[in-house]
Amino acid sequence: MPQISLYIDKETLEQVEKLAKTDQVSISKWVGNNIKDLIKHRYPKDFFALHGSIDDESFQKPASLNPHDDVRRESL
């Protein structure tokens, strides 16, 4: 399996050690899992720049709903 070297300050290493111990995994496993999570949950570059970029009449804000028009619900 490939290896990687990290250069981090002492305080960060101490925090990583504590978190790895809390999760009951090795430091290597903890760092690897967190790197995978960062990659997995990352949005594509310029994702947020897309907001408002669609110029289409079908994309309209719906009319506000009146909560008083809702059906009465059974209390639990």
Q: Is-contact 16 30, C-beta < 8 A? A: yes
Q: How far is CA 4 from the centre of its chain?
A: 24
Residue 70, in any domain of the structure: no
Residue 57 DSSP code: T
Domain that holds residue 36: 8-40
Each residue's pLDDT expressed in tens, for the chain with a length of 76 residues:
889 999 999 999 999 999 999 999 999 999 999 999 999 988 888 888 888 787 888 877 778 888 888 888 888 8
What is the end-to-end Cα distance of the chain in Å, rounded? 55
- Split into its structural domains, the chain has a count of 1
Predicted pLDDT at 53: 81
Distance CA 27, CA 7 (A): 14
Predicted pLDDT at 29: 96
Predicted pLDDT at 37: 93
Distance CA 63, CA 60 (A): 9
Residue 16, in any domain of the structure: yes
Predicted pLDDT at 51: 81
Predicted pLDDT at 69: 84
Residue 68, in any domain of the structure: no
